[in-house]
């Protein structure tokens, strides 16, 4: 069994997965780390339980996971540990066995992902202390996009500067895009090498990726996860010239402007109501003007990105919707396909309505549009098993 650990900036998700079958024996989430109401929740076939976390930090969350593994008699069955790592920088194009050198390189990427990589490193070092006899593997969000061609991954900045300061479009959500692309190939019954796909991962963070023959050839997130689509609280694309202007008129420093674009914008900022798509759909149906506009802008930006990826792909075999919104919102999917009818999408209303809560399917009678549930933990477990067996 593989223990999968995903340390976020204020949360730790984990899962114990039998990689041969995909069965999840125990899963859990420690959340609100750093706050007084930090809490860890465990879920297994026997039920759900929660306890407060004291101290309220990552280390105590992992300690609690290890204790629970022992209580559930799973500890001795763990054969390897897979860690989600957000940023692999220019170093990693695939998952890697964690050695001292690999860990140094992950640390070297901390300047590129100051909120995430330090938490990932902590997750690795604390679990290595508990399980020193086991091999640990890092699975990177950026790795899938590592081989994007230069013309897609570079910004139009002086090239020497890009090289010297590692400035490029890295892209994120790579594990999810890779998982759903492989799943789509399975569902279409064609090898990935013969398929041109566009996958839209739409959760609180959102990104869209053009995948040609199994390789990411363009993606909407860039140097950071702020670029691209409109997201829950992130603006996505804005004119870079806006940043100094906002700093000046709002009297904000760089951190203040970055915070505004990352935490107060997107669906939340436009609607002035919520970052939650479900809540916005309800409010829009009740006539809330801001909610309606937020959803309209979200769909418009997404449709524009999808259409633009016909440039690197030439033709499209299938569009994929995934993530909380992609897997559940028949409203958003319908709006997007309607705007893309010139690409021969024709909405299958009943399939669109039934593809919710884990039900996968093709919702278009024209060009295929698949709803596929992502499973990053499963893919992390697979990579870990493969690299450690």
Residues binding ligand ADP (CB under 6 A): 203-205, 232, 276-278, 281, 323-325, 328-329, 356
- Of 28 and 232, the one with the shorter C-beta distance to ligand ADP is 232
- Of 39 and 78, the one with the shorter C-beta distance to ligand ADP is 39
Structure tokens at 361: 């399917």
Residue 57 is labelled as binding a ligand: no
Check residue 347 and report its DSSP letter: B
DSSP structure string for 221-239 = --SSTTSSS--SS---S--
Residue 110 is labelled as binding a ligand: no
Q: Is position 147 annotated as part of the catalytic site?
A: no
CA-closest candidate to residue 148, choices 164, 177, 179, 170: 170
Residue 357 is labelled as binding a ligand: no
The burial of 164, by beta-carbon neighbours within 10 Å (0-12 exposed, 13-18 middle, 19 or more buried), is given as exposed
Residue 204 is labelled as binding a ligand: yes
Residue 37 is labelled as binding a ligand: no
Q: In whole angstroms, how far apart are CA 124 and each of 33, 35, 86, 140? A: 17, 22, 13, 13
Count of alpha carbons within 13 angstroms of residue 317, beta-carbon side:
18
- Whether a cis peptide bond, with omega within 30° of 0, leads into 296 is no
Q: What is the Cα–Cα distance from 288 to 284, expressed in whole angstroms?
A: 5
Among all residues, whose Cβ is closest to ligand ADP? 324
- Of 269 and 323, the one with the shorter C-beta distance to ligand ADP is 323
Give the shortest CB-126-to-ligand ADP separation in angstroms: 23
Residue whose token pair is 């990826």: 309
8 A C-beta contact, residue 339 and residue 313: no
Residue 6 is labelled as binding a ligand: yes
8 A C-beta contact, residue 335 and residue 280: no
8 A C-beta contact, residue 56 and residue 36: yes
Give the shortest CB-232-to-ligand ADP separation in angstroms: 6
Give the shortest CB-349-to-ligand ADP separation in angstroms: 16
Tell me how many degrees the CA angle 102-108-112 measures, rounded to the nearest 5.
125
- Of 129 and 353, the one with the shorter C-beta distance to ligand ADP is 353
Give the shortest CB-328-to-ligand ADP separation in angstroms: 3
CA-closest candidate to residue 85, choices 17, 2, 144: 144
List 37, 76, 104, 141, catalytic entry = 141
- Of 184 and 325, the one with the shorter C-beta distance to ligand ADP is 325
Residue 324 is labelled as binding a ligand: yes
Give the shortest CB-377-to-ligand ADP separation in angstroms: 12
Q: Which residues are annotated as a binding site for substrate?
A: 84
Q: Which residues are annotated as a binding site for ATP?
A: 13, 201-205, 276-278, 324-328
**Which residues are tagged catalytic?**
141
């Amino acid at each position: 069994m593989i223990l999968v650990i995903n340390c976020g900036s204020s949360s730790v998700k984990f899962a114990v997965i039998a990689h041969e079958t995909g069965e999840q024996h125990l899963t859990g989430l420690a959340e609100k780390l750093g706050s007084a109401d930090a809490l860890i929740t465990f879920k297994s076939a026997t039920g759900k339980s929660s306890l407060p976390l004291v101290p309220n930090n990552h280390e105590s969350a992992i300690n609690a996971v290890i204790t629970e593994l022992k209580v559930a008699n799973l500890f001795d069955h763990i054969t390897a540990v897979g860690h989600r790592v957000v940023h692999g920088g220019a170093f990693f194009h695939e998952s890697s066995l964690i050695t001292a050198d690999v860990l140094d390189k992950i640390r070297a990427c901390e300047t590129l992902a100051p909120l995430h990589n330090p938490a990932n490193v902590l997750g690795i070092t604390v679990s290595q202390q508990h399980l020193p006899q086991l091999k640990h593997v890092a699975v990177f969000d950026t790795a899938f996009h590592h081989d994007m061609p230069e013309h897609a991954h570079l910004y139009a900045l002086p090239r020497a500067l890009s090289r010297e300061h590692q400035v490029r479009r890295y892209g994120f959500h790579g594990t999810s895009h890779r998982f759903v692309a492989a799943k789509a190939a399975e569902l279409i019954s064609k090898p990935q090498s013969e398929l041109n796909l566009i996958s839209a991962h739409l959760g609180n963070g959102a990104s869209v990726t053009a995948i040609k023959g199994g390789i990411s050839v363009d993606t909407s997130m860039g140097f950071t996860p702020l670029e691209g689509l409109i997201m829950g609280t992130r603006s996505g694309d804005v004119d870079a010239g806006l940043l100094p202007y906002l700093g000046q008129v709002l009297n904000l420093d760089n951190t203040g402007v970055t915070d505004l674009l990352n935490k107060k914008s997107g669906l939340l900022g436009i609607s002035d109501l919520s970052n939650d798509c479900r809540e916005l759909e309800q409010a829009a149906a009740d006539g809330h003007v801001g909610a309606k506009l937020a959803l309209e802008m979200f769909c418009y930006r997404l449709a524009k990105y999808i259409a633009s990826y016909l440039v690197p792909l030439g033709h499209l075999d299938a569009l994929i919707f995934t993530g909380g919104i992609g897997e559940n919102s028949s409203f958003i999917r319908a709006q997007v396909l309607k705007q893309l009818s010139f690409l021969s999408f024709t909405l299958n209303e009943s399939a669109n309505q039934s593809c919710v809560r884990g039900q996968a399917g093709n919702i278009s009678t024209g060009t295929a549009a698949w709803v596929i549930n992502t499973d990053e933990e499963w893919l992390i477990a697979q990579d870990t098993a493969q690299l450690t067996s």
